[in-house]
Amino acid sequence: MSGPRRDNRGIVDARELFSHVHFRRREPAPALRPYLAFYWLIDWDLPQPYTSYVVPHPSVNLVFQHHGSTGEPAFAEVAGVGLGLFSQTLEGRGRVCGVKFRPGGFRPFAPAHPVSHWSGRRLMADEVLAAPSPVPAVLDPAEEDARVAALDAYLLALAPEPDPQAERATALVERVRTDRTIRRVGELARAEGLSARSLQRLFATHVGVGPKWVILRYRIHEALERAETDPEVDWAALAAGLGYSDQAHLVRDFTATVGAPPAAFAAR
């Protein structure tokens, strides 16, 4: 398995976010890497509130968090695949230690339900996972190595069982992410020797969303990145390159996901 990805796709205005918080990615223990993409750690100490926005990946996250200014106790929650734009307002001082599972990587930790059962939901981690979440051990240490070690120990103790179907789902999502020729569910199904219905069942059970959703989400991630980095985007050409039949369909999907048309977003 390769190390943590270094691109920031999905984070809306990553440069602005990183100017407000201390953000880093860390690798999990080797035995966990087939299931986890990376750990993500955020600390902040802000004089004014700041709201971040993310267009989620097709991944489940386990999030340990403490928002010191709210007076609420620290907690851990499982965040199923986010179906829409996610926003989080940060203020005062706080800390988050997150676990980003690979698409397909969460089911071995919670095999009682298809991953679609958690999609669009946020639940206390103790309601989902088989062992109490070690919130103080993860959030209290000043040294981030100790936080990573606590995450490793907790997840290893959950003893995920290898699941060939989950591994297949992980590989298929990675193919969608990296192969821009995959533009339709039927194309992916034929390439894998599956019926469209079997592919949809595989994704619902092990990823949490359908293959069409995954294809669309990665298109939007790419369009979002282009909107942030290229002041003179040719939207018609980009729409064609992403497999859209015309620019209007890209504009519709982008607007529905991000909350603003691509040209207006880019100008902002």
φ, ψ at 246 (rounded to 5°): -160, 170
Contact call for residues 79 and 60 (beta carbons, < 8 A): yes
The predicted model scores a pTM of 0.92
> Per-residue pLDDT for the chain (268 aa), expressed as one digit of tens each?
444 556 788 998 888 999 999 999 999 999 999 999 999 999 999 999 999 999 999 999 999 999 876 678 999 999 999 998 999 999 999 999 999 999 999 999 999 999 999 999 999 999 999 999 999 999 999 999 999 999 999 999 999 999 999 999 999 999 999 887 888 899 999 989 999 999 999 999 999 999 999 999 999 999 988 888 887 888 899 898 888 888 999 999 999 888 888 878 877 6
- According to CATH, the topology of domain 164-267 is Arc Repressor Mutant, subunit A (1.10.10)
Q: Which residues pair with 51 in a beta bridge?
A: 89
Which residues of the chain form CATH 2.60.40? 14-157
φ, ψ at 125 (rounded to 5°): -60, -35
CATH architecture assigned to 14-157: Sandwich (2.60)
Which residues of the chain form CATH 1.10.10.60? 164-267
